[in-house]
Chain A
Amino acid sequence: MASTETRTEVQGPGPQSPATFDGVLGSADHKTIGRLFIGAGTIGAIAGLLLAAGAAFEAVDLGGFTVAKDADEFTQIWSAGRDLLMFGGIVPILVGLALYIVPLQVGAPSIAFPRGAAGSFWTWLLGSGLLIGSYLLNGGPGGGRADFVVLWAAALAMMVGALVWAMVCIATTVLGVRTIGMTLERVPHGTWSFFVFSLVGLFSLPILMAELLLAYLRVRYLHLDVTLSEELTAIMDGVSYAPAIYWVAIPVLGIAADIVGVHTGRPVKFHKAAMATIGAFGIFSFGADVVGLASLRPVDFNNGFLVAGLLIASVPVLATLFLLGDSIRFGELKMRAPLFGALVSGLLLLAGTATSILGLVEPIMGIIDRNFYDGIDMTQTLVLNGTTFHEGIRAVVIGAAVVAAMAGVQHWGANLFGRRLAEPMGMLAMLLTAVGSVAWAAGEVLAGVADQPQLPSAELAGSGVEGFNSIAALGTAVMTAGVVVFGLNLASTALATKPAGSTPNQWTGSTLEWATTMPPPVGNFPAAPVVTSATPRNDGEITFSALLPSAAEALEKEETSSSEELAALPAGSGGSGES
């Protein structure tokens, strides 16, 4: 391998990413695309949360309408908030973070299919615009104009399709563009979690697209009565309810593991074990997702996969946090904003997965009822499915994902913009988001226990659930404030982005994204970094190879086989290297 080493230190600033408007428009640099996704996703998340807050405040007084004109408009606001928060906000932010960080962490010069990744952003942006337009023109679930209900289905499918394509680029980068020595088991936890997130997404989101296609055809050709368009909200239920919603929280565990490793100075000791727990969490969300969606009906909570997912998903979360505990306990803990966010997001996810187990009471009682008892309807013990209970689980899981994304941006700020995001604002944003999501979730869960249906109805006016709805409304407002603070922090940092290579390393991270200049130049590294472990920067100075990995590997194999052949030769045969 020594023959492949050409340089032993990172050179100074290289060519920069395009800064002009036309340069950004035509850029296929993964860093530019990642920043665009993060910025636009933050705007989408704020818009989604504002709409969710509007719907939540409407539910405070079930006796009349204040924010919306009527029940249909309420459904539209509620549905638009859910669509935008999910596919216009948190998923694009995570995809953007993955597009930016994954190539750096695996030592790649670029994302796989860079023009495809750029195309995914612009397609997603166009789809987002059309989605907002469809709602503004009285379309979407609850809409009254068939043309714009159809437009909603097409726009949402366009957004989801674009995100799937970005996930193909991310997963292919992990599979195929890793640098020399970076085996799959050596990739950092952040990259691994984005890989699992992408795989689960690209296997399950096409099912949502199939549903949207059928909705499109039904409204377009079968002239579905638009007064029934609120039934279309069921399409998004498949990806919004636990355990399928856990999919958006898969990166929470990887981001937290990376951050804890850096800010305690002690990388996660059991690297592969943490990879296994993150993978297990992905599997539990995936199986349920596919089966739940493939039924293409209102989610069936008696489904065995869903039951298993709800029951077991908290175990890998707990196991991952347990593995991080070693670094926290024995490392040098520095409570900076990223670490605060990482820990809070992990705890939020644990709270969400643990609370969702309550949703099992009804199906388990059903099983007991069917098999052991006659005549006693045990399923009525605690009916939570079909109520706002699952909206509460969604709120806290989304909250965990948003806080983790904030922590990630804060952690990799120097990589992203050449400067760190303001620490106090970062802390404040994460605190508000976490507190807001907990309050939102608590209100919805309690209202669900009090039998409030998914879409609150006037029949429950004066029943006491309005108090719970007030807590939820307050929570959405606080969470919105948190994301707005994050957006301001992000914007002020992004607008003062420094040129490539102008900032020294910020943290003593052990992975490859810290082994280049900040922000990284086009190409990321002067040549292919050569790694020999999961923590290359802890193994001494990084070496760089100018050879193709395949050539280097072939050379390495050749050297190994030659030395083995030589060793096998009898002494004195004349084949010794010394001769």
Chain B
Amino acid sequence: MTDITPYQVLPDDAPAAVYARPRLLMAGTALASAAVAMGFLALIVHYVSERAAVIQTGEVWLPNGVTIPLTQPNFMGLTLAFSVISVWWSVASIRDNERANSYAAFALTFLFGFAYISQTAYLLTIMEMEILASERAMLIYAVIGTHIVLTLVAMGYLIVMLLRTMGGEFSPSYFEGVRSSAMFWTVIVVLYSVLWYAIYITK
């Protein structure tokens, strides 16, 4: 049996460790989230200014025959609010080294995400609004559709981080990936609150 001490495992001429400041992924995610938010808010600003211009002429904003019920948007908001709790639960679980809880929290967040998308699809169905009908319908679909796409991207990010968690990459001493994906998810939920007010409440 060879006598290897921990100090002999690494050769003396091994390259230096790659150095990185902490929270690198957090910084990158924060910047990417800011860029995403700017793009989404630009769509909202366009929607609001278009709506104001139409209302100023004395016309009604929503296309003829289209109504937006409040029940679904409110429940969608509630669903996403719960998802924020579950996504930060996954972060707290990793921090506390409770892996089973973390997987459960990830699963719950996906469930809430799918529920949100499903409710949006149902809402669009009962709104009975043709995308080809008018500029207004197109704008509403553009804003809602963009948010759905962003939600799917956030879910993809969460899946990557779940797989990395399952691979043992994150631990109580390093869980930056999980935290950054939770931050991006939270930004998406905050953006929903803007959408909720601009489209579903003001109609």
Residues of A whose CB lies within 8 Å of any CB of B are 6, 109-110, 112-113, 164-165, 168-169, 171-172, 175-180, 199, 202-207, 209-211, 213-214, 217-218, 221-222, 290, 293-296, 523, 526-528, 544, 546-550
The answer to whether B135 touches A206 (Cβ under 8 A) is: no
How far is A527 from B38 in the complex, measured between Cα atoms in Å? Answer: 38
The answer to whether B21 touches A526 (Cβ under 8 A) is: no
Most buried by B among A6, A168, A204, A209: A168
Q: Does B118 contact A (CB under 8 A)?
A: no
- Give the dominant DSSP class at B's interface: helix
Q: List the B side residues contacting A209 at CB < 8 Å.
A: 39
Q: List the B side residues contacting A109 at CB < 8 Å.
A: 18-19
The answer to whether A113 touches B138 (Cβ under 8 A) is: no
Q: List the A side residues contacting B23 at CB < 8 Å.
A: 176
The answer to whether B34 touches A203 (Cβ under 8 A) is: yes
From known contacts A546-B17, A548-B17, infer whether A296 and B46 are also in contact, taking CB-CB under 8 Å. yes
The answer to whether A296 touches B49 (Cβ under 8 A) is: yes
Q: Does B28 contact A (CB under 8 A)?
A: yes
Q: List the B side residues contacting A179 at CB < 8 Å.
A: 19
The answer to whether B142 touches A214 (Cβ under 8 A) is: yes
The answer to whether B49 touches A295 (Cβ under 8 A) is: yes
From known contacts A112-B24, A176-B24, A296-B46, infer whether A202 and B19 are also in contact, taking CB-CB under 8 Å. no
Interface string of B25-62 (1 = CB under 8 A from A): 00110011011101111110110010000000000000
The answer to whether B19 touches A218 (Cβ under 8 A) is: no
How far is A558 from B20 in the complex, measured between Cα atoms in Å? Answer: 20
Q: List the A side residues contacting B9 at CB < 8 Å.
A: none
The answer to whether A164 touches B35 (Cβ under 8 A) is: yes
The answer to whether B21 touches A549 (Cβ under 8 A) is: yes
Q: List the A side residues contacting B131 at CB < 8 Å.
A: 221
Q: Does B22 contact A (CB under 8 A)?
A: yes
Checking A6, A210, A222, A550 against B21 with a beta-carbon cut-off of 8 angstroms, the contacting residue is A550
Q: Which residue of B lies closest to A552 (CB)?
A: B19
| 6 CB < 8 A contacts A-B | A168-B28, A168-B35, A169-B28, A210-B42, A222-B134, A550-B21
Q: Which B residues between 169 and 190 are near A, CB-CB below 8 angstroms?
A: none
Q: Which 4 pairs, one residue from A and one from B, show the smallest C-beta to C-beta distance?
A: A206-B39, A210-B42, A527-B16, A176-B24
Checking A177, A207, A527 against B20 with a beta-carbon cut-off of 8 angstroms, the contacting residue is A177
The answer to whether A296 touches B18 (Cβ under 8 A) is: no
Q: Which residue of B lies closest to A527 (CB)?
A: B16
Q: Does B167 contact A (CB under 8 A)?
A: no
Q: List the A side residues contacting B36 at CB < 8 Å.
A: 206
The answer to whether A214 touches B43 (Cβ under 8 A) is: yes
How far is A164 from B35 in the complex, measured between Cα atoms in Å? Answer: 8
Q: List the A side residues contacting B31 at CB < 8 Å.
A: 168, 171-172, 175, 199, 202
From known contacts A168-B32, A176-B24, infer whether A296 and B42 are also in contact, taking CB-CB under 8 Å. yes
The answer to whether A217 touches B35 (Cβ under 8 A) is: no
Kindly provide the distance from the CB of B160 to the nearest chain A CB, expressed in whole angstroms: 13
Checking B24, B34, B132 against A177 with a beta-carbon cut-off of 8 angstroms, the contacting residue is B24
From known contacts A214-B142, A218-B135, infer whether A206 and B42 are also in contact, taking CB-CB under 8 Å. yes
How far is A168 from B15 in the complex, measured between Cα atoms in Å? Answer: 28
Q: List the B side residues contacting A177 at CB < 8 Å.
A: 20-21, 24
The answer to whether A113 touches B28 (Cβ under 8 A) is: yes
Q: List the A side residues contacting B41 at CB < 8 Å.
A: 294
The answer to whether B24 touches A172 (Cβ under 8 A) is: yes
Checking A110, A165, A204, A214 against B38 with a beta-carbon cut-off of 8 angstroms, the contacting residue is A204
